[in-house]
């Protein structure tokens, strides 16, 4: 089974979760590159640019360029991303729940009692 690309896949690891640029917690409408970068701790401009380009190529986000001085570039969610974002949010919630259970050893205890 092919592995998901970690640069564009929603993160199941809280350490990586903030690095997903177009997660619903980062974008509620058109958002400028600089604002996205400030919202995501520890992501480089290069990595954010790569992720945004990949998401744009896949049709999940759009990029709007205004030839002003300085140029204004905004990113937003396409209908495709809006349709899938609910499912991605649920998967993210489940991943965090399981991670917390694993950290507390809940899964190991339950597995032994079943």
Q: How far is CA 57 from CA 51, 84, 91, 111, in A?
A: 10, 16, 23, 42
> What band does 104 get if pLDDT is binned at 50, 70 and 90?
confident
Which residues, including other chains, have CB under 8 Å from residue 30's CB and lie 6 or more apart? 64, 74, 75, 76
At 63 the pLDDT is 94
pTM: 0.60
At 22 the pLDDT is 53
At 109 the pLDDT is 57
| pLDDT tens for each residue of 30-84 | 999 999 999 888 899 999 999 999 999 999 999 999 999 999 999 999 999 988 8
Q: Does domain 14-113 have CATH number 1.10.10.10?
A: yes
| Tokens 């409408």 sit on residue | 29
Percent of the chain whose pLDDT exceeds 70 = 68
């Amino acid at each position: 089974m092919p592995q998901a690309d970690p640069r564009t896949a929603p993160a199941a690891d809280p350490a990586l979760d903030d690095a997903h640029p177009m997660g619903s917690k980062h974008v509620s409408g058109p958002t400028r590159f600089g604002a996205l970068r400030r919202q995501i701790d520890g992501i480089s401009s290069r990595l954010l640019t790569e992720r945004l380009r990949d998401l744009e190529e896949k049709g999940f986000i759009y990029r709007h360029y205004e030839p002003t001085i300085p140029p204004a570039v905004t990113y937003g969610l396409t209908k495709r991303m809006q349709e899938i974002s609910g499912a991605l949010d649920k998967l993210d919630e489940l991943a965090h729940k399981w991670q917390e259970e694993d950290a507390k050893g809940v899964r190991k205890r339950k597995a032994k009692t079943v």
